[in-house]
């Protein structure tokens, strides 16, 4: 029987992908006590990055928001793989957003809202999180956005 959060994902039309299997000596998530630390996720969807390049030159804010949302969906796929059941998420504790930015791009927070809004759409009040957003020089595979997450879980 699907859990509450699974139903919410269905309502939102979100299908969780198979989480990315790291191709090196790290893993998608590690749990320690009640905290689940999830590796930085890129904006893959449907088998490819949905936005590459830098905000402020090659990528629009709207494209960046969609990219941040995709990162958040990929975080949820990792959490689902970790817990089996997303109803075990007690709280989204923290998101760290890294925006692939031209040096004069100042709207990182608007981009990152794509990830934050997804968390609140899925989890409601317990989706509200602490957040840090910074603009970085380069990201793996030229992804437009990378987001890491920390979750309190039961």
Query: For 111, what's the count of Cα atoms within 13 Å in the CB-facing half-sphere?
Result: 31
Nearer to a copy of itself, 2 or 144 (CB): 144
Nearer to a copy of itself, 39 or 86 (CB): 39
95 is a site residue for a copy of itself (CB under 8 A): yes
93 is a site residue for a copy of itself (CB under 8 A): yes
In the stretch 55-74, what mask flags binding to a copy of itself with x, by CB under 8 A? -x------------------
How many CB atoms neighbour CB 151 within 10 A? 30
Supply the DSSP string of 41-57, one letter for each residue.
Answer: EE-EETTEES-BS-BTT
Q: How many residues bind a copy of itself (CB under 8 A)?
A: 60
Residues 71 and 65: their CA atoms lie apart, in Å, by: 10
Nearer to a copy of itself, 2 or 35 (CB): 35
Out of 29, 50, 68, 71, the residue judged to bind a copy of itself by CB under 8 A: 29
Contact between 134 and 98 under an 8 Å Cβ cutoff? The reply is: yes
């Amino acid at each position: 029987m699907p859990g509450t959060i699974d139903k919410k994902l269905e309502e939102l039309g979100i299908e969780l992908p198979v989480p990315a299997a790291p191709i090196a000596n790290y893993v998608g998530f590690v749990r320690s006590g009640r905290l689940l630390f999830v590796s930085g996720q890129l904006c893959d969807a449907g088998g490819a990055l949905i936005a590459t390049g830098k905000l402020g030159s090659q990528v629009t804010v709207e494209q960046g928001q969609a990219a941040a949302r995709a990162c958040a969906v990929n975080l949820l796929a990792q959490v689902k793989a970790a817990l089996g059941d997303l109803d075990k998420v007690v709280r989204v504790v923290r998101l760290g957003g890294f925006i692939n930015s031209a040096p004069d791009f100042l709207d990182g927070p608007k981009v990152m809202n794509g990830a934050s809004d997804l968390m609140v759409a899925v989890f409601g009040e317990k989706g509200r999180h602490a957040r840090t957003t910074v603009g970085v020089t380069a990201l793996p595979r030229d992804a437009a956005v990378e987001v890491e997450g920390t979750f309190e879980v039961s």
